[in-house]
Amino acid sequence: MTQLELARTGEITPEMVRVAEKEGVTPEFIRQGILDGTIVILKNIVRENVDPVAVGKGLRTKVNASIGTSGDCKDKNLELEKLRVAGEAGADTIMDLSTGGDIDGMRKLAIANTTLPLGSVPIYQTTIESIEKYGSVVEMTADDMFACIERHAADGVDFMAIHTALNLEVIKRLKSQGRVMDIVSRGGAFLTGWMLHNNQENPLYAQFDRLIEIVKKYDVVLSIGDAIRPGCIADSLDRAQVQGLIVAGEMADRARAAGVQVMIEGPGHVPLDQIQSTILLQKQLCSQVPYFVLGTLVTDVAPGYDHITSAIGGTVAAAAGADFICYVTPAEHLRLPTADDVREGVIAARIATHAADIIKGVKGAREWDLNMSRARKALDWEGQMALALDPAKARQIRAERSPNTSDVCTMCGDYCAMKVVSQYLGADIGEC
């Protein structure tokens, strides 16, 4: 049985107990959230080495880091290094988006080398294999698609992005309106080409019950992919995007009725003034299920710094109710990220989500900042390093220019405001 089906019986599962412990809430809070559809637990039934993670309302906003080989970069060891770095930097989940080399082998290696929940996008592998098998993406069959989904689930993938909300009606609306950047989702592009060439409905939409049967068998969380997401801020909240969101909400209701845990993927590129509206619209149309946003990027003109543009948008999105943020690295739009890019992306996303969690009242978020402030007041440098979101970098920067006296930094030195004021107020430096 799935976590959702067990929640309906009133059972508190070991997975519910574990994630409740990590979140500082009660197991019943988790069970009720799963029952209501506002919380999901990422944990495939067949995977033994995973530490389950809960995503949803009332919980800490989670961060996903993506890795994966490509046609140009097929080095599995490099991707394993990126996986390790992502975990050390504090990512909550990993997605393997491999499109080159030994895709099955890369996925199995990733699962074996992390205890974090792992996600995938099976349509990527289906299309690559179809090109190799048939010579063209448009020759792939529905059986190919579902067989690949089953393979990922059987390997232990905990959540899957599947573009089941893309149908011919959504494409028709896109064509009638027009866009600056059309479709930027790889999975959405592959399926759109297939649908238009074959003049057939998307099998992932038309045969949705077949999909449900697979993900339910393994208790894979269905992440309904945003195949029609805007790829630039000019395309945000257009009719095609909203139509796709309406369909996603309908599919989410069907999945939950069948006992499948579900979340919705979202944009993407969104101007700052439209982020809150985008989140509220998704929550309203999709029965409040968790929202997994890809960024969001608030401007299109900062290649090389898109981890910053996405952190700005990610903070606003999470504060408005987004539950899960996919990191963006400095390499976004430019190349496959390096391990250093991965670290920068995870840290930027964690800053964004923590800033939002303070506003959302997530347990322990504001206390973390208060403890850091007390350590700063006390000039407790070891305490500050321990509380830093990235302790290694904080230590590195402080060590690069050592102060003459160890209780201050080289910015102010002996003129440190806290040191001076504490002397005049008659308080010891160590007091808070």
Residue 432's pLDDT is 42
* Whether pTM exceeds 0.85: yes
pLDDT tens figures, 5-39: 999 999 999 999 999 999 999 999 999 999 999 99
Please give the CATH topology (third level) of the domain spanning 39-360.
TIM Barrel (3.20.20)
Distance, CA of 277 to CA of 59 (rounded, Å): 21
Residue 68's pLDDT is 97
Confidence band of 408 (pLDDT split at 50, 70, 90): low
Distance, CA of 351 to CA of 315 (rounded, Å): 8
> Region 115-134: what's the mean pLDDT?
97
Q: What number of residues does the chain have?
A: 432
Distance, CA of 410 to CA of 90 (rounded, Å): 29
Residue 367: which of 387, 385, 346 has the closest Cα? Answer: 387
374, two tokens: 């007390």
Lowest mean pLDDT, pick from 250-259, 262-271, 422-431: 422-431
Residue 401's pLDDT is 79
pLDDT tens figures, 78-99: 999 999 999 999 999 999 999 9
Provide the residue type at 338 as one letter.
Answer: T
Backbone phi, psi, residue 128, to 5°: -60, -45
Mean pLDDT across the chain: 95
280, two tokens: 């509220």
Residue 426's pLDDT is 61
Residue 430 pLDDT > 60, yes or no?
A: no
Confidence band of 295 (pLDDT split at 50, 70, 90): confident
Q: What percent of the chain has pLDDT over 90?
A: 91
Tell me how far CA of residue 2 lies from CA of 13, 27, 200, in angstroms. 10, 16, 32
Residue bearing the bigger pLDDT, 417 or 56: 56
Residue 274's pLDDT is 98
Residues with Cβ within 8 Å of 249's Cβ and at least 6 positions away in sequence, in order, are: 264, 285, 286, 287
Residue 268's pLDDT is 92
Q: How many CB atoms lie within 10 A of CB 250?
A: 15
Q: What percent of the chain has pLDDT over 70?
A: 94
Tell me how far CA of residue 226 lies from CA of 244, 265, 290, 321, 385, in angstroms. 8, 5, 14, 17, 39
pLDDT tens figures, 205-239: 999 999 999 999 999 999 999 999 999 999 999 99
Residue boundaries of the structural domains of the chain: 39-360, 365-425
